[in-house]
A and B are shown apart, each in its own frame.
Chain A
Amino acid sequence: MTGFRTLLHKEVLRFWKVIWQTVAAPVLTALLYLLIFFHVLEGHVQVYPGVSYTAFLMPGLIMMAVLQNAFANGSSSLIQSKITGNLVFVLLAPLSYLEFFLAYLVAAMLRGLLVGTGVAAVGLLFADLPVAHFGWVLAFALASSAAFASVGIVAGIWADKFDHLAGVQNFVIMPLTFLSGVFYSIHSLPAFWQSVSHFNPVFYMIDGFRYGFFGQADTSPWLGLAVVAPSALVLGLLTLLLLRRGYKLRH
């Protein structure tokens, strides 16, 4: 346990020491989105009856921040440690694969949730956000951040340079999150894109999360959970398997 706790502590301290970059910056980005959408669209668009557009937007923005930062933490920490070579200190230690995995996972989730909380806090300056079912909010926040934390760890292990990570960020993470209903209800999409959205796991993460706040969403939260929780589990097991294999870490 001490090994896990120490590695977790180190990973948390790593982003905490540069909190302006790792937490404040993404909160500021979300604030800019809110400012723009609040002034441009507020009053013109209503997705759900009785929910202002800004309020509608907030769960999506929060979840997007959670996902992107959960991904960013593990991936950037690992690639930095690989490139500077100091990952060797962890590799030389008698940590089990599970301890290694859980430490990076929990640190990444913490950063994601911290940024998400920050986005929620600035969002409250623009609109009230009801919480219909806190249990759903929490369940989707945890399962979704865990899934993306795992993806970040795998990406960090796989990437040989920062360019590779930027590629994953730009060609996988960004499209998945933007095309998932952060800014709209998928019911406003043409039928074809609606059905495509149903194959995007991020859609369920945002939709289920939104359900937790408004008690209404595009699909049932149970369906969402049935997609998101197994995704997180499979991604976690895959990460563990790669660590066990020593993929890219032990020649």
Chain B
Amino acid sequence: MPSPAVRVRGLEKHYGALCALDGIDLDIGEGEFFALLGPNGAGKTTLISILAGLVRPTAGFAQVLGHDVQADYRQVRRLLGVVPQELVFDPFFTVRETLEFQSGYFGLARNEDWIDALLHHLGLADKADSNMRRLSGGMKRRVLVAQALVHKPPVIVLDEPTAGVDVELRQSLWAFIRDLNRQGHTILLTTHYLEEAETLCQRVAMLKAGRIVALDRTDNLLRSCGERHLRLRLAAADLPESLATRLVGRKGDEFILSLPDLDDLEPTLAALRMAGATVLDMGLDQPDLEDIFVRVMGQGTPTPSPSPARGRGALLESLSRPEGKR
């Protein structure tokens, strides 16, 4: 069996009394598009830094494509392209110089064609000869992405690559990364924009206080938490009696009904007709990753696999998400 792109076993990292990672076990298959989610301080960057050899684990081990990140550090770094979370740059050099140096560090003396392609894909072509100091924050972020890709690494790790990046680049960046993923590159992504993870990633791990509290395929997670909501605006002031048990909340003049399964839709509509209610407007809210995230993070003690507890607290939180997201 081929080695997975990333394999982590019993990984721990302590900073004094603080336990940044508390026993992580994780496999990411080759070619996967994988999201690592979690609130600030959960340990995402720490995990990535251990893969990149920037941080040494207190216990456990990590491998990239079968190579131990410590014993075989040079091979691992060739296989890995990391976009760091911090917006760092070398103020002495231009964009092109930065990319040429980065290529050189990876042993690539002549890399102009690929550097030009990267500049083009990341919308940096007209900034190639600008000093790094003169770039805007989002532009610097693009250079960071380009730097991580100079050596066409089979495993690409992006630590919040879209923080501070405008909509247009975000889309072109993801199109580009998706393309790389289709060509076989494994992608490991952290982000606080959960819609990004939901649309891009096949699999998701959620990290909380250094432990994995959810790990599953994105579609499974969405299903497991399969509480849909039907929003109704009626001509009448009250909801028909027969639907009272479904009511989970109100928002303005809308009734919010729980719809555990899509099969519950037709009986609900039938009940409305039976009661002679006139529907002025209606909409269906799918659960999204954010609902699941909030729910998983809200649970007191982390469990290896989350049991989708349908607590009222979690529901109310999922109801209060921003307008316009269905």
A-to-B contact residues, CB < 8 Å: 2-3, 5-7, 9-10, 13-14, 17-18, 81, 84-86, 88-96, 246, 250-251
Contact of B109 among A2, A10, A94 (CB under 8 A): A2
Q: Give min CB distance, B13 to chain A, whole Å.
A: 8
Among A7, A14, A18, A246, the most chain B Cβ lie within 10 Å of the Cβ of A246
Q: Give min CB distance, B195 to chain A, whole Å.
A: 29
Contact of B105 among A84, A93, A251 (CB under 8 A): A93
In angstroms, Cα B93 to Cα A95, docked, is: 20
Question: B89 interface residue, CB < 8 Å from A?
Answer: yes
Q: List 25 A-B contacts (CB under 8 A).
A: A6-B101, A6-B104, A7-B104, A7-B105, A9-B101, A9-B104, A10-B104, A13-B93, A13-B97, A17-B92, A85-B84, A88-B54, A88-B86, A89-B90, A92-B53, A92-B80, A93-B77, A93-B102, A93-B106, A94-B78, A94-B105, A95-B74, A96-B74, A251-B55, A251-B56
Interfacial residues of chain B within 83-115, with CB under 8 A of chain A in the complex: 84, 86, 88-93, 97, 100-109
Q: What 3 pairs across the A-B complex have the smallest Cβ distances?
A: A6-B104, A93-B105, A85-B88
Q: Give min CB distance, B165 to chain A, whole Å.
A: 19
Knowing A17-B92, A250-B53, A250-B56, say if A88 contacts B84 (CB, 8 Å): yes
The answer to whether B54 touches A94 (Cβ under 8 A) is no
Contact of B75 among A9, A86, A90, A94 (CB under 8 A): A94
Contact of A94 among B88, B91, B97, B106 (CB under 8 A): B106
CB neighbours of B52 from chain A (8 A): 91-92
Q: Give min CB distance, B212 to chain A, whole Å.
A: 22
Question: B82 interface residue, CB < 8 Å from A?
Answer: yes
Known: A10-B93, A94-B73. 17 other contacts (CB 8 A): A2-B107, A2-B108, A6-B100, A13-B92, A17-B92, A85-B88, A86-B88, A88-B84, A89-B147, A90-B105, A91-B52, A91-B53, A91-B54, A92-B80, A94-B107, A95-B105, A251-B56
The answer to whether B55 touches A250 (Cβ under 8 A) is yes
In angstroms, Cα B104 to Cα A179, docked, is: 43
The answer to whether B86 touches A3 (Cβ under 8 A) is no
Q: Give min CB distance, A247 to chain B, whole Å.
A: 11
The answer to whether B105 touches A88 (Cβ under 8 A) is no
The answer to whether B56 touches A94 (Cβ under 8 A) is no
The answer to whether B105 touches A86 (Cβ under 8 A) is no
Knowing A84-B91, A85-B86, A250-B55, say if A92 contacts B77 (CB, 8 Å): yes
**Minimum CB distance partner of B56 in chain A:** A250
In angstroms, Cα B101 to Cα A95, docked, is: 12
**Minimum CB distance partner of B52 in chain A:** A92
In angstroms, Cα B54 to Cα A9, docked, is: 24
Q: Give min CB distance, B107 to chain A, whole Å.
A: 5
CB neighbours of A94 from chain B (8 A): 73-75, 77-78, 105-107
In angstroms, Cα B98 to Cα A14, docked, is: 12
In angstroms, Cα B256 to Cα A30, docked, is: 82
**Minimum CB distance partner of B74 in chain A:** A94
Interfacial residues of chain B within 25-84, with CB under 8 A of chain A in the complex: 49, 52-56, 73-75, 77-78, 80, 82, 84
Q: Give min CB distance, A221 to chain B, whole Å.
A: 39
Knowing A3-B105, A9-B104, say if A88 contacts B88 (CB, 8 Å): yes
The answer to whether A86 touches B53 (Cβ under 8 A) is no
**Minimum CB distance partner of A1 in chain B:** B107
The answer to whether A92 touches B54 (Cβ under 8 A) is yes
Q: Give min CB distance, B287 to chain A, whole Å.
A: 38
Q: Give min CB distance, A76 to chain B, whole Å.
A: 12
In angstroms, Cα B262 to Cα A152, docked, is: 69
Q: Give min CB distance, A132 to chain B, whole Å.
A: 41
Among A85, A89, A90, the most chain B Cβ lie within 10 Å of the Cβ of A89
In angstroms, Cα B107 to Cα A96, docked, is: 12
The answer to whether B54 touches A86 (Cβ under 8 A) is no
The answer to whether A14 touches B101 (Cβ under 8 A) is no
CB neighbours of A6 from chain B (8 A): 100-101, 103-105
In angstroms, Cα B56 to Cα A13, docked, is: 32
Q: Give min CB distance, A59 to chain B, whole Å.
A: 33
CB neighbours of B92 from chain A (8 A): 13-14, 17-18
In angstroms, Cα B93 to Cα A13, docked, is: 9
